[in-house]
Amino acid sequence: MGMPMGIGGTVVLLVLSLLFGRNLFNDVGVQPGQTVSTSGGALADSAAEEPQVQFVSFVLDNAQQTWAQVLPSEANVPWHDAKLVLFRQAVQSGCGAAQSAMGPFYCPADQKVYVDLGFYDELRSRFGAPGDFAQAYVLAHEIGHHVQHLMGTDEQVRRAQRASGGAEANRYSVALELQADCYAGIWAHHTNQQRILEQGDVEEGLAAAAAVGDDRIQQQSTGSVNPESFTHGSSAQRASWFRRGYESGQMRSCDTFAG
């Protein structure tokens, strides 16, 4: 995935903020002189984190620019930017305390995406999904949850789960997650039209979607698969819905709740 890369951590983000006339520290949840609260050290002070901080800032900007056009046009819903919080090991969110074991998540209470940078290491080493676009897919999926929040879809799902007495909780959860995968594909579709994608990027996204399927994770962790306990969908489902969004580029192709 083609993107401007550089070095310099906090200094680079400060310089870029001055050059582009806006506060890039706000976009990544870090203020000059203030870092995200973590138990693993300050991200902005670690030279090893600098390229990833800059990368996710670029992806965040691109994804939100895409949805700022798509959401009002296709759903007649105004767009409001989400914020991104980067951390390692643990963080306090508007939805409560979170550990790195939870993986990346979106909190509708504060409209922030939380990404433990250690998950990107795990995506490569444990799940076998390397590449920068695989990392971009993870962020685009979480931005997909922000789209659902602005649409009111997440609240509708919560009401339906309560109405079912919990019997349909997993089915609705899977549908919500697969729709976020499809929305990530829509972002990839529009990014491809901007000629930002490079050869092999879509394959990286598909591989990442498949790598974090419930069946694959259960097989790795327990040696067995229980579809009744799925919350995100199988590897095949996740890759299929990402591809559907990528090929159509339209929100109406992402009705994972039909039927």
pLDDT digits 0-9 by tens, 216-237: 666 767 776 676 666 778 888 8
* Higher pLDDT pick, 8 / 183: 183
SS3 content of the chain, % helix, strand, coil (to 5): 60, 10, 30
Is residue 177 within 8 Å of residue 231, measured between CB atoms? yes
Those residues with Cβ within 8 angstroms of residue 212's Cβ, 6 or more apart along the chain or in another chain: 103, 123, 127, 129, 232, 235, 238
* Residue 93: both structure tokens together: 């969110």
Q: What is the pLDDT of residues 30-51, one digit of tens each?
A: 433 233 333 344 444 456 667 7
Chain centroid, CA 217 distance in Å: 18
pLDDT in tens, 83-110: 988 887 788 888 888 777 677 899 999 9
Residue 59 has pLDDT above 70, yes or no: yes
Average pLDDT, the chain: 75
Rounded to an integer, the average pLDDT of 173-191 is 93
Residues 18-37 as b/e (b if ≥16 CB within 10 A, e otherwise) read: eeeeeebbebbbbeeeebbe
Instruction: Quote the pTM value.
Output: 0.76
pLDDT average, residue stretch 5-14:
34
